[in-house]
Amino acid sequence: MDAPPVSAPLPRSRTLREEIAQLAKLAGPIAFVQLGMTAMGFVDVAFLGHYDAAALSTMGLGNTLCWAAIVYCLGALAAIDPLLAQAVGAGDRPAVTLSLARGLLLGAVLTVPAVLLLLPSERWLAWLEQPPELIADAALYARINTVGILPLLWFGLLRSLHSAHSHVRPQVLAIVLGNAANVLLDWLLIKGNLGFPELGVAGAAWATVMSRWLLLVSLVWFSRDELRPYWRALRDPSVRTAAFALRPLWNLLRLGAPIGGQFAMEMGVFAATALLIGRLDRDAGDAEGLRLCGHQIALQLASLSFMIPLGIGLASSVRVGWAVGLGEPDAARRTAKAALTGSTAVMTAFMLLYLLFPGAVASLVTNDARAIEWAVVLLPIAGVFQIGDGVQVTSIGLLRGTGDVHAPFWINVVGFWVLGLPLGCWLAFPWGKDLGPAGLWWGLVAGLFAVAAALLTVVRWRFKELRPRLSVE
């Protein structure tokens, strides 16, 4: 098969110091892009927080429902990450083209059930007993976001391709453009500036959708020279036949299923927490959803800090994948040490920020004193779990680079759903300790540290002897 050449030479290291430098060089831009993705949500939250506290709570519900439907799709597509990185490391040119083509098809297929799940959003929210005053607009927000699912999945896939080749410039350019557009669109559509209609929560949703399509189009444009050889290779009927054969596609979906499950378990516990806090608002007769608003502020800020160790985890997955493809276990072990050290250092800084200055940080998002009051309760708790959160997401990236996709799933099930969420409910509700939203967040702390400790144990065991390279053929 005549496929595009793989970038060479790959950046290598001989010592831990060199590995830290190489990992930082790759992780920095990847983390920047991750921050940019979250910054789009942060900007939506900030605009709505200064527009109306109730609108912020509404968006929180709609956004929670959206990610509950999308997150499995993102995880299933993440199976492409180790396949690409290991193929690049091994210099396997045909495998890169086949993985890209299969990922594009899988992303399109997965979009369909995600859209179908979100169309009856109003029924889901009513069934989940959310505040009736928020349901209609939250459901509208979720339905509008269905238009942006496909570009989000394909953008993530193309980012994985570029990261596997250590091509970061197109990603950075695309995320800068997408964020600039999102700020402008939020300003125009939420408050109705320059004669545009004042759409509130729906305006934030349309800004997100249009920005996601712009992200995809701009990434394709900025990387057109790198992508052109792949499109040419796929013109060959034999390449398309191999790429879209049913057995490899099924094997790819099976490989991605536990990753999607792990994503869903982790995101699901935060979604469940938001829905439970919505019930606390309803039970308290709070039509504005101020508890949920404070939760959304604290979660958005914690998500921003989470993006840096996530970027380190994604970069370490690439470098471990290269090491597996090259047959260099010592290089993989150096990456693991460098990645865990970097994540712990970064999250220690964020821990101190959230513990020492919760009010100042929360005021960046909203000027509503009542919402800030609830966010200040939760932000120090977010500070406590920063290190555990950073260690667990970095460990998952390391394991994915080796091809281990099952251990993170089962560890998430036990840590979050058997330990964290039940403990949080007992701490939060009147039949337990009655701590309110803080109780649910302390449950998250317990779950995150349990998951982090278990994943660290698996990393130590797995990196003693690396698995063979992955294949879906």
pLDDT in tens, 264-274: 888 888 888 98
Residue located via tokens 């029924």: 123
Classify residue 148 by its DSSP letter.
G
11, part of any domain:
no
CB atoms within 10 A of CB 39: 21
The pLDDT of residue 1 is: 47
Residue located via tokens 């404070």: 294
The pLDDT of residue 2 is: 46
Token readout for 239 is 């390449």
473, part of any domain:
no
2, part of any domain:
no
CA–CA separation, 413 and 160 (whole Å): 26
Report which of 218, 254, 265, 313 is spatially closest to residue 102, judged by C-alpha positions: 254
413, part of any domain:
yes
CA–CA separation, 197 and 199 (whole Å): 6
CA–CA separation, 166 and 160 (whole Å): 10
Collect all residues with Cβ–Cβ distance below 8 Å to 241 and sequence separation of at least 6.
none
Whether omega for the bond prior to residue 9 falls within 30 degrees of 0, making it cis, is yes
1, part of any domain:
no
Given phi > 0 = left and psi -120 to 50 = alpha, else beta, which region is 194? left
134, part of any domain:
yes
pTM of the predicted model as reported, rounded to 2 decimal places: 0.84
| Residue-wise pLDDT tens digits, 46-102 | 788 777 767 777 887 888 888 888 988 998 998 898 889 888 888 888 888 999 999
Q: Which structural domain range is residue 203 located in? A: 17-462
333, part of any domain:
yes
Q: Report residues of the chain scoring pLDDT below 70.
A: 1-10, 53, 287
Number of domains into which the chain is organized: 1
Report which of 364, 360, 357 is spatially closest to residue 380, judged by C-alpha positions: 357
Residue located via tokens 């057995």: 247
The pLDDT of residue 6 is: 45
Report which of 276, 37, 245 is spatially closest to residue 155, judged by C-alpha positions: 37
60, part of any domain:
yes
107, 150 Cβ separation under 8 angstroms: yes
| Amino acid (one-letter) located at 430 | P
